[in-house]
Structure 1
Amino acid sequence: MHPSNDEVAAMDATGLHRDKNYKYIKKMETTFRKLVMMLLGAIVLSSCSEDDIQLEGPNTSCEIIEVTGTISEPTVWKEGFVYVINGSNVRVTSTLTIEPGVIIKMKDARIEVVNGKIIAEGTAQKRIVFTSLADDRYCGDSNGDAAASTPEKGDWEQVYLSTSAGSVFRYVDIFYAGQSSGGNTKAFSIQGQSAASFTFDYCRIAHTLYLPGSSSYAFYGTSAMKDASVSRFTNNAFYDNGRPIYFDAFYQLDPSNLFHNPEKPAMINSHNGIYLNLNTGGSGLSVNWNNTEVPYVSEYVSVMQVHPTATIHIKPNVIVKFAHPGGGIQSYKGNVHVDPTAILTSYKDDERGGDTNGDGSTTVPATGDWKGFRYTDGGTIAYWITGTNILYAGNE
């Protein structure tokens, strides 16, 4: 028996019979599949959604503006758009103003500020977000793949300030950066003394890729970041990174900065410390090392020679860790003041200041892990200082 013409018309492409409700059923199936994909995406992102501050309002799609090349004239990025930088670096040589609530999504690229500046001033209610192109939490599914991709550490490179002065980042989030560039991974970095003139306030850097053995820091201030009146760095938070921050040993870090997620304090950084550039004498400078949330860390390979006109005050309950067998610090006629409750110890010392080197129990501290604390009068008197608060030094 052969099917009638009406029945043939009711067959789908596979030859299977379908009834008059076929179109309605297919529409329901399509809708159901979309709902499943959305649910899967929500499940995948739920854990990280809880980790980070979310913008007010629904997570809806924004109109996409693709950005390439050089921003060579004053430019404003407007709220309600998502600015996508995908596959090629963008250079800023003029003033780029970013309005509160703007989302910037990036993939395999970085922003370079050269002889220009960025003015990114968000608010507590409308934060500005730099994140991965795969991050559907902000402005929806900008890469159009539903739940097929999720944001990962190192999806994009960094924001890089060079020969730039006067940039402002306030209420700004920088997520999923740190893609390797020449073996180095960073979310935000400055190079050159002029670039050290910036404001960084109420910002968050999180989920930055860390590569062991590389110059890998979420915020890389270098030796240029040494004057707190020039490099204004306050009320910021670091979490789920490797090494959070690196700057000159004479930079006075404001105590308002945090090294954990304010919403989930147990979320910290794998190598949680304040990393110092000790390859400097600090002529005429004075600094207080007074942060007690995390240790100060020196990875310098030699003993730091503090300039005779400089002063370092290591304050109560502060922990300083040294990572290299040749590392240490030298006091000239007492210009390095160590409070009796402060501790100088090995980078491997997890008992004091936590697992700062991020290897669990793989390594344990031992005598000779660092050189020690040395006193000199610049003449014939020189000796290694010992005490119950100076641990695992080699003193040779």
Structure 2
Amino acid sequence: MKMLPNAAMQFNSGGYLVARGTSAQPVVFTSYKDDTHGGDTNHDGNATTPTKKDWRNIVAGSSADSEFEYCQFLYGGNGGNTISLFGAKASITHCTFAHNGQDDGITEASLDASRAKAGTVIQENTFYDNVRPLSIAASFDLDNSNTFHDPANASQKNQYQGIVTFWDINATKASVNWEETEVAYVNTENIDLVDGKTLRLGNNVTLKFLPNVQVSLRSNANQLQNANGAGVAFTSYKDDARGGDANGNGAANNPATSDWKGVYSGGWLKWTNIYYASN
């Protein structure tokens, strides 16, 4: 599937897309200028080459379950993301997201699952040379099976090396597990755990926080499970030493005390793995 500038695909009202490739024969969604896949479609030889934001995106909005298995999503993102799960549930496995752009702002990512429904599965995918690789909602689990660098060149990562997370205080959301360790979970708003709900962290998970953001545990500190597990850290968005360069600016700024608020449960917690908080 080759896409011209501003081209997009959208599925609503029960519509869905099933794209199942194999490791040897993936399904490819790419730019009209990409001669590597499907030949010289625009018939200009080497006069043009593909680049980020050559096409728009795929939007699953209020749709039925879409499936993407062994797919490649290349050179998209003109419009903020390359795949958007907007009120939809999907299974995205063994796929590659590479060379995708996005508009300014932390709310977008190459795979934008920030408004995806519970039951969404994102596993065994590879993200590299994107602006932001992935955003997720607090309604589904994320394991440690995704890769955030080029397997053929470990130094090629993403500009903003992190998973943007979106939390709300929806009392109906399920308790969730976060296990990704290669990059940090970057929290743009408060993690607010209502009574009876939990967030379980895997060992070596890093949570990063933007200014004025905090963790609120409404019942007790046990709502944040494995919070003191091996290698678990709570830190500033500017802390490149833990979980990579999540703010995408190299060494342009350093973390400092009061970069974010802290962890609150009837009082501000003073765990030794909380860094650069104001409380």
Q: Same fold (TM over 0.5)?
A: yes
List alignment gaps of at least 5 residues for structure 1. Answer: 1-102, 376-381
What is the aligned-residue RMSD (CA, Å)? 1.7
Structure 1 residue 263: Cα displacement: 2.5
1:135 to 34, 47, 53: 34
1:1-396 superposed matches below 5 A: 103-115=1-13, 116-180=15-79, 185-192=80-87, 195-196=88-89, 198-213=90-105, 215-225=107-117, 227=118, 230-281=119-170, 283=172, 285-300=174-189, 303-323=190-210, 325-331=211-217, 332-334=219-221, 335-337=223-225, 338-341=227-230, 342-375=232-265, 382-395=266-279
Q: Which residue of 2 aligns with 1:35?
A: none
Identify which range, 208-217 or 120-129, moves more after superposition: 208-217
1:49-82 CA-partner distances (Å, limit 9, x unpaired): xxxxxxxxxxxxxxxxxxxxxxxxxxxxxxxxxx
TM-aligned CA distance change 1:215 to 1:248, over 3 Å: closer
Structure 1 residue 111: Cα displacement: 0.7
User: Under a length normalisation based on structure 2, what TM-score does the superposition of the two structures give?
Assistant: 0.92
List alignment gaps of at least 5 residues for structure 2. Answer: none
1:162-219 CA-partner distances (Å, limit 9, x unpaired): 1211222111101000113xxxx10100112xx21x2212111111113433532111
In structure 1, what is the Cα distance between the partners aligned to 2:105 and 2:161? 16
Q: Which runs of 4+ in 1 moved over 6 A?
A: none
In structure 2, what is the Cα distance between the partners aligned to 1:250 and 1:191? 13
Structure 1 residue 266: Cα displacement: 2.1
In structure 2, what is the Cα distance between the partners aligned to 1:139 and 1:248? 35
Answer whether contact 1:177 1:207 (CA < 8 A) is retained: yes
In structure 2, what is the Cα distance between the partners aligned to 1:241 and 1:364? 23
Structure 1 residue 340: Cα displacement: 4.4
Max Rg structure: 1
TM-aligned CA distance change 1:299 to 1:233, over 3 Å: same
Answer whether contact 1:106 1:133 (CA < 8 A) is retained: yes
Structure 1 residue 247: Cα displacement: 1.4
Answer whether contact 1:304 1:328 (CA < 8 A) is retained: yes
Answer whether contact 2:213 2:261 (CA < 8 A) is retained: yes
In structure 1, what is the Cα distance between the partners aligned to 2:258 and 2:177? 27
Structure 1 residue 281: Cα displacement: 4.2
Answer whether contact 1:250 1:282 (CA < 8 A) is retained: no
Aligned length: 274
In structure 2, what is the Cα distance between the partners aligned to 1:255 and 1:215? 22
In structure 1, what is the Cα distance between the partners aligned to 2:69 and 2:264? 41
Answer whether contact 2:162 2:244 (CA < 8 A) is retained: no
Give the fraction of aligned pairs with identical amino acids, expressed as a percent.
35
Relative contact order higher in (CA < 8 Å, ≥ 6 apart): 2
Q: Which residue of 2 aligns with 1:89?
A: none
Answer whether contact 1:240 1:268 (CA < 8 A) is retained: yes
Q: Which amino acid aligns with 1:191?
A: F
Q: Return the structure number with greater helix share.
A: 1
Answer whether contact 1:328 1:370 (CA < 8 A) is retained: yes
In structure 2, what is the Cα distance between the partners aligned to 1:293 and 1:276? 15
Structure 1 residue 256: Cα displacement: 1.8
